[in-house]
Chains A and B, each alone.
Chain A
Amino acid sequence: MKFKLKRDRDQEPRRKLTKKEIATRIWNDRVAYLMVLPYFALFVCFTVIPVLISIFYSFTDFNMIQTPNFVWFENYTRLFLRDDIFLIAIRNTVILAGVTGPIGYLLCFFFAWALNEFTPKVRAVLTLMFYAPSISGNAFLVFTLLFSGDSYGFINAWLIKLGVINSPILWFQNTQYMMPLVIVVLLWTSLGTSFLNFIAGFQGVDRTYYEAAAVDGIRNRWQELWYVTLPLMKESLMFSAVMSITGAFSIGPTIDGLVGFPSTGYAVHTIMHHLNDYGGQRFEMGYASAIATLLFVLMVVCNKVIQKLIRKVGN
């Protein structure tokens, strides 16, 4: 097999390749291309094409049943200029993503860091305990029992018993309480993939680096963490950050399970909800596509910013 390593290729002088040369190269690397093909095909079919279609539909008035007409930027102007609820949705998304994203990320990191200190068996048990809420499907619905609006709901019953309140509070239907409660539940479920990834990242650090660092004059664990551990697990950091942030933008279903859809007074109405509202309930696919496109752009920008920040780690 005549594989040309990347290193060799980089040493060649950069110049414009002819079509024939490109073809030869592709042919030479055909095994690699073949191996990429299945994922690439799936990715194009189920991610790239839908995104493109959605961008296309965002310029139409598609209603899911009839043939769409072009309305050009009508959807976008309406979205930015005439849709008050969209502004609410943006505000809520920013609050939720801004609070649960970073805090969730930090929680993941610190839990992983702390768990890393235990013996493997204890660590495995604890990992399962922390990870369970995020894999057990709708386990967060236990909060709807705790915070049931019935006077026999756990929290209500206790507060009434303690004399704090006299009549039950509709926790998940009262605009005053919905946002803080939703944030708490989201944090509770946030120890997901990125948490596991961090644990793996910590495991992946070679112990010899710590010895070398100790020789080089590292004085405490914080320095060790900042100058040795973190730089060595930058990939993990990056991956987890991307997961946390994108996760924070698309938290719709968890919120629906807690407060129903739409949430009272749009108190925790996010961009995802706005999208579902127009796509699923009002059948305005064109408009929903415009929202989706915007959400897409927002996520890409956020990811870029985060990547920039993460690169600074250890410097």
Chain B
Amino acid sequence: MKIVKRYLAMLLALVMLLSVAGSAALAVESQEGTADPSVTTPTDQSAPTLEETPQKVEKFSKYKYSEYFDDHAQTPFATGSFTVAANTYLPEQSSANVKVDTQYDSQDAEAFKALNGLAGASIRTEEDSTVVWNFTVPADGLYAINVLYYTVPGKKSDIERALTIDGEQPFTEAGALIFPRTWIDNPEDFKKDDNGDFVLDAAGSKVFKTDVHDNQIRPSSIEKNGWYDINCRDASGNYGDHLYFYLTAGAHTLALTSEREPMVINRLTFAVPGELPTYAQLQEEYKAKGYQNGTDASVEDGSVSIKVQAERPSQKSSTTLYAEYDRTNPAMEPYSYDTIALNEIDGGKFTSPYQWLTWEMDVKEAGLYKIVTRFQQSTKDGTFCNRILYVNGEVPCQEAKHVRFNYDNGWQVETICAPNGEEMYFYFNEGINTITLEVSLGEFGDILDRVDSVVYELNECYRDILMITGSTPDAYRDYAFDDLIPETLKTMEENSVEIKQIVEDIETLVGDSGSFTSSFKTLVQDIDTMTETPRVIAKRLQNFKSNLGTISTWLLNATSQPVSLDWVMLSPVEAKNPKSGKGFFAGVKHQLMMFLASFYMDYDDVGRMSEYADGEKEEIKVWVTTSLDQSQILRSLIDNNQNDLPCKVNLQLVSAATVLPSIAAGTGPDIVLGVGASDPINYAIRGAVMDMSQFDTYDQVLKRFNENAIIPYQYEKNGVKRTYGLPETFAFPMLFYRKDVLSELEIEIPKTWEDVYNCIIKLNMNSMQFGVPGTINTYGTLLYQNGGQFYEDKGNGEAISALDTAQSIQLFQKWTEFFTAYDCLVTYDFANRFRTGETPIGIADYTQYNQLSVFAPEIKGLWGFTNVPGTVQKDGTIDHKTLASGTASVILNTSKHPEEAWAFLDWWTSTQIQYEYGLEIESILGTASRYNTANLEAASQLPWSTADFKAIEEAWGYATALPEYPGSYILGRYINFAFLEVVNNEADPGEQLLDYVKMINEELVRKQAEFAEIQ
């Protein structure tokens, strides 16, 4: 009996685990039961025969620098050098807005007075300019091109230029050359005493300002405009600090076309950079010069000399490199268990190639010192992160280009060593010296570049196979791949060999790498099985794809080189390094104190600079419902711009759900930021929010936005149109497309919906999809482009649905047909499918741009975006209207200071503040979260490339928005129901829509009657 029960228990457990599978079977059964036999499945139809497989045409693909370099491997490096002065450019071939510095307007002229004798020979190139030079090359050879440029103020992003020689781009990377800017921490953000002098800490460096609770406030960054001297180099960092260009003897032209930001150029130098000495040679040199070991001892015992806190660099390469705090470790300097003590540079930000930080070291006694850092590198298990060390602006020896920071879970204190582990000592002069650490991929650069090529080529192979099999290959069918795509198989074999080589190279570089290379080995296995017996390709395709995805992710991770830094110091050669931790008991004490501090510290109030005095200035309460980061950025903006504000602002971060109850209870704030698009009218009809059109500057403020952005926040009552919300964010769909895939399939980018059908048919023939969102916005786009409307406005804030017209029904059918007849998918991961090329073209929110640019590095430059497909109008023009979504700010009716509240919103939506806010967001949360402000001018200043922003600007003009009425929530809901019923169960579109329109109208009428008698 007991045994029986035991088995019973086991059985029950099994049933529990299998219930998942069981339900699937259940669902399958019912699916089979309802399947309509007359509907043929489109996948079967679209399986292409041999004849249909399109001929490969001229390919849009990369010509990578590594290929270019290999193609010119026989060419010797140039021995001589020559210089081209910038002002010898050809005005007739260059843009009209290129100006020699004698023609600068007065403002620029001021800035160029102090150009150290470089004035008079420079030219200013705007952010939408091309400048062309003629020059003569003395002898054949490979040259690096060095540019001397001045960083004029712009949009605060790095300067980007595309280079062509004799009208041609030598290789893909030359299309995006980066000329960085230099930044410093704003001196205004450091503590000053009453005399206006900086307050210094024990080590003699400036300290950060603090708020009323003694929390240190992160400084803002300001640009240090100046002359910089940089070799043309690519954006990825894969090829080290310079690129070589092959030039034959004789006359050539060189053109620099602006991709981003204005720039002043003084000269171009063509030369080959000199070789650096090895560390051994450097030591010889030091010996010859008679340098002694330094014994600088500013601290009594002589063990610790010159220490600089890493979070206080003298210069830095990027605004994203700023002081942060680590409160988890008691050995951090400076240390605090309760207040915010900024004490580190976070590795999460100090991670991309070319980022650098410079610190000043005040050396009392010249001599040789070792450089010691306290750092944390806890992400790259099994390998190291690379930095280039500069001493006084120069890389002292070859080994200094490959300074390694090895993996460990905790913080480490280590001397900077050569790759072979030997400690390196460098000579420092008496007085101020600088030390710079720059992120570099080092030896990894070459490997990453090769992996990048492999991923790109294998993705191409994947698509080739996909075009034959479709996304759901028949595992038991022999597709005869060897006959159909022999080249593809050959490419795969070649790549398999290359991957094996890569793995070997990685292993020689980092030693036994284990998990670091395991994903490569799996992929190699996949490819080898697939190429040896092509029969199994169909079976293993999914596997292959997911392993390929793993490699893409690996690539993305490997490009980052995160090292957090606590401090940097120069130490006498013999001195022992301090310990990196403080021991177990210090840790326990730290945890305990932190716990206690959590009872009395008000971390919601961080950043308040002054105690609020009564009666001094009115105070308004502002609620934000976004994230902590966003609210902190806004708070620091408020603090920094206190003078532009009419009153004190008390900013509070609340959860979105609290807004409504607080309004009901009458304890709400004056302003709520970031409410959903439907909220302002919902609140307004209940009399909870204020009409903004009553304020004097209303019309002026409104001009900042797309004229349609305000539509959802306006409501008409008794013949008067009032505005209850001010747009904050604004996002609209655009058409994303893969240039390489489309050109390979000879598909033009569709301009109209008719073109889309052709495009879909061609894609389906190759088992690819067109991405059409199954959201009401797509229907809205079709409707609005045909002059239709969702609502028939009856005035006085009342409306009924206008969807029962013949046109609306026809367009509804058109929308659902994408999914029923054309095989588009309702649910799909756009970014991932776009990346693999399965969905090489699709409509998505324009903010998707940010995600793609960050998470899909392997297709950088291979995709673009443009207006969504349009509808041809009677006059022959094409209408690309789209429906935008957004968020808004509202002023509550209970506000006692409406004028001040309005002034705050005026300030908040102004171009300058929206721009600064966007920049800060981006610097903290990364490019992937670029702020989609509703202020067009602010958006234009965010670091978009000029060409991309042009596309956005055009789409911006076509964007419109849905109006809101009482009860309008029901429209989206029921249209979605109708849509899914048609798509899932093949219901008749017209019937479905009309059924639901009836219900929509009932709800609208009921809801509008509820508010008819109110005001």
Contact A167 B682 (CB under 8 A): no
A261 to B31, CA, bound (A): 24
B829 is contacted by which of A114, A150, A170 (Cβ under 8 Å)?
A150
Chain B residue nearest to A262 (CB atoms) is: B973
Whether B167 sits at the interface, judged by CB under 8 Å, is: no
Interface of B is mostly: helix
Question: Which of B13-21, B85-93, B375-383, B956-964 contacts its partner?
Answer: B13-21
Q: Which residues of the other chain, A, contact B683 by a CB distance below 8 angstroms?
A: 65
Contact A114 B12 (CB under 8 A): yes
Contact with A along B470-484 (1 / 0, CB 8 A): 011011000000000
Whether B976 sits at the interface, judged by CB under 8 Å, is: yes
Contact B9 A173 (CB under 8 A): no
Whether B299 sits at the interface, judged by CB under 8 Å, is: no
A110 to B1007, CA, bound (A): 50
Whether A63 sits at the interface, judged by CB under 8 Å, is: yes
Whether B969 sits at the interface, judged by CB under 8 Å, is: yes
A180 to B24, CA, bound (A): 10
Contact B985 A151 (CB under 8 A): no
Among B9, B12, B24, B661, find the residue whose CB has the most chain A CB atoms closer than 10 A.
Answer: B24
Question: Which of B197-205, B215-223, B819-827, B918-926 contacts its partner?
Answer: B819-827
Chain A residue nearest to B2 (CB atoms) is: A117
Contact A161 B686 (CB under 8 A): no
B542 is contacted by which of A117, A157, A264, A265 (Cβ under 8 Å)?
A157
Whether A184 sits at the interface, judged by CB under 8 Å, is: yes
Chain B residue nearest to A66 (CB atoms) is: B686
Contact A180 B980 (CB under 8 A): no
Minimal beta-carbon separation of B462 from chain A (angstroms): 14
Contact B686 A143 (CB under 8 A): no
Contact with A along B997-1015 (1 / 0, CB 8 A): 0000000000100100010
Contact A177 B27 (CB under 8 A): yes
Q: Which residues of the other chain, B, contact A281 by a CB distance below 8 angstroms?
A: 969
Contact A167 B969 (CB under 8 A): no
Contact A188 B16 (CB under 8 A): yes
Chain B residue nearest to A129 (CB atoms) is: B13
Whether B22 sits at the interface, judged by CB under 8 Å, is: yes
Chain A residue nearest to B981 (CB atoms) is: A265
Q: A176 and B686 in contact (CB under 8 A), knowing A161-B472, A167-B41?
A: no
Residue tally, chain A, CB below 8 Å to B: 59
The residues in B between 640 and 698 inclusive whose CB is less than 8 angstroms from any CB of A are 660-661, 663-664, 682-683, 686-688
Q: Which residues of the other chain, B, contact A151 by a CB distance below 8 angstroms?
A: 471-472, 825, 828
Whether A310 sits at the interface, judged by CB under 8 Å, is: no
Whether B984 sits at the interface, judged by CB under 8 Å, is: yes
Q: Which residues of the other chain, B, contact A169 by a CB distance below 8 angstroms?
A: 27, 31, 984
Q: Which residues of the other chain, B, contact A130 by a CB distance below 8 angstroms?
A: 13, 16
Among A113, A159, A173, find the residue whose CB has the most chain B CB atoms closer than 10 A.
Answer: A173
Contact B977 A264 (CB under 8 A): yes
Contact with A along B38-57 (1 / 0, CB 8 A): 00011110000000000000
Interface of A is mostly: helix
Contact A176 B980 (CB under 8 A): no
The residues in A between 212 and 264 inclusive whose CB is less than 8 angstroms from any CB of B are 220-221, 262, 264
Contact A282 B969 (CB under 8 A): yes
Chain A residue nearest to B967 (CB atoms) is: A282
Contact B682 A283 (CB under 8 A): yes
The residues in B between 921 and 967 inclusive whose CB is less than 8 angstroms from any CB of A are 967
Whether A26 sits at the interface, judged by CB under 8 Å, is: no
Minimal beta-carbon separation of B649 from chain A (angstroms): 25
Contact A65 B686 (CB under 8 A): yes
Minimal beta-carbon separation of A79 from chain B (angstroms): 14
Minimal beta-carbon separation of A126 from chain B (angstroms): 7
A115 to B984, CA, bound (A): 43
A150 to B830, CA, bound (A): 11
A168 to B774, CA, bound (A): 14
A168 to B983, CA, bound (A): 11
Q: A174 and B980 in contact (CB under 8 A), knowing A150-B825, A151-B825?
A: yes
Whether A49 sits at the interface, judged by CB under 8 Å, is: no
Whether A164 sits at the interface, judged by CB under 8 Å, is: yes
A221 to B6, CA, bound (A): 13
Whether A165 sits at the interface, judged by CB under 8 Å, is: yes
Minimal beta-carbon separation of B1005 from chain A (angstroms): 13
Whether A64 sits at the interface, judged by CB under 8 Å, is: yes
Contact A180 B472 (CB under 8 A): no
Whether A87 sits at the interface, judged by CB under 8 Å, is: no
Whether B8 sits at the interface, judged by CB under 8 Å, is: yes
Contact B827 A167 (CB under 8 A): no
Whether A148 sits at the interface, judged by CB under 8 Å, is: yes
Chain A residue nearest to B43 (CB atoms) is: A166
Contact A160 B9 (CB under 8 A): no
Whether B806 sits at the interface, judged by CB under 8 Å, is: no
Minimal beta-carbon separation of A134 from chain B (angstroms): 12
Whether A146 sits at the interface, judged by CB under 8 Å, is: yes
Chain B residue nearest to A78 (CB atoms) is: B1006
Chain A residue nearest to B686 (CB atoms) is: A65
Whether A155 sits at the interface, judged by CB under 8 Å, is: yes
Minimal beta-carbon separation of A155 from chain B (angstroms): 5
A177 to B24, CA, bound (A): 9
The residues in A between 56 and 110 inclusive whose CB is less than 8 angstroms from any CB of B are 61, 63-66, 107, 110
Minimal beta-carbon separation of B844 from chain A (angstroms): 15
Contact A117 B981 (CB under 8 A): no
The residues in B between 533 and 555 inclusive whose CB is less than 8 angstroms from any CB of A are 542
Minimal beta-carbon separation of B295 from chain A (angstroms): 60
Q: Which residues of the other chain, A, contact B688 by a CB distance below 8 angstroms?
A: 65
Q: A165 and B31 in contact (CB under 8 A), knowing A65-B663, A221-B1?
A: yes
Contact with B along A111-123 (1 / 0, CB 8 A): 1011101100000
Whether A205 sits at the interface, judged by CB under 8 Å, is: no
Contact B20 A167 (CB under 8 A): no
The residues in A between 5 and 62 inclusive whose CB is less than 8 angstroms from any CB of B are 61
Whether A175 sits at the interface, judged by CB under 8 Å, is: yes
Chain A residue nearest to B1014 (CB atoms) is: A66
Minimal beta-carbon separation of B737 from chain A (angstroms): 21
Chain B residue nearest to A266 (CB atoms) is: B977
Among B20, B985, B1007, B1014, find the residue whose CB has the most chain A CB atoms closer than 10 A.
Answer: B20
Whether B508 sits at the interface, judged by CB under 8 Å, is: no
Minimal beta-carbon separation of B820 from chain A (angstroms): 10
Q: Which residues of the other chain, A, contact B980 by a CB distance below 8 angstroms?
A: 170, 173-175, 264-265
Whether B110 sits at the interface, judged by CB under 8 Å, is: no
Contact A118 B9 (CB under 8 A): yes
A22 to B952, CA, bound (A): 80
A32 to B6, CA, bound (A): 46
Q: A175 and B985 in contact (CB under 8 A), knowing A66-B686, A149-B827, A180-B23?
A: yes
Whether B288 sits at the interface, judged by CB under 8 Å, is: no
Whether A198 sits at the interface, judged by CB under 8 Å, is: no
Minimal beta-carbon separation of A33 from chain B (angstroms): 33
Minimal beta-carbon separation of B969 from chain A (angstroms): 6
Contact B687 A181 (CB under 8 A): no
Contact A184 B23 (CB under 8 A): yes
Q: Which residues of the other chain, A, contact B22 by a CB distance below 8 angstroms?
A: 184
A148 to B9, CA, bound (A): 31
B983 is contacted by which of A66, A146, A170 (Cβ under 8 Å)?
A170
Q: Which residues of the other chain, B, contact A111 by a CB distance below 8 angstroms?
A: 9, 12
Contact A148 B12 (CB under 8 A): no
A126 to B688, CA, bound (A): 54
Q: A170 and B827 in contact (CB under 8 A), knowing A164-B32, A184-B22?
A: yes
Whether A202 sits at the interface, judged by CB under 8 Å, is: no
A contact residues vs B (CB 8 Å cutoff): 61, 63-66, 107, 110-111, 113-115, 117-118, 126, 129-130, 143, 146-153, 155, 157-161, 163-171, 173-177, 180-181, 184, 187-188, 220-221, 262, 264-266, 281-283
Question: Can you add 5 more A-B contacts, CB < 8 Å, to A64-B686, A174-B984?
Answer: A117-B9, A150-B827, A168-B827, A173-B984, A176-B30
Return the 9 tightest CB-CB contacts between A and B, nearest first.
A114-B9, A149-B827, A166-B41, A184-B23, A65-B686, A174-B984, A160-B472, A150-B827, A177-B27
- Interface CB pairs A-B, < 8 A, 5: A65-B688, A148-B827, A170-B983, A181-B27, A184-B22
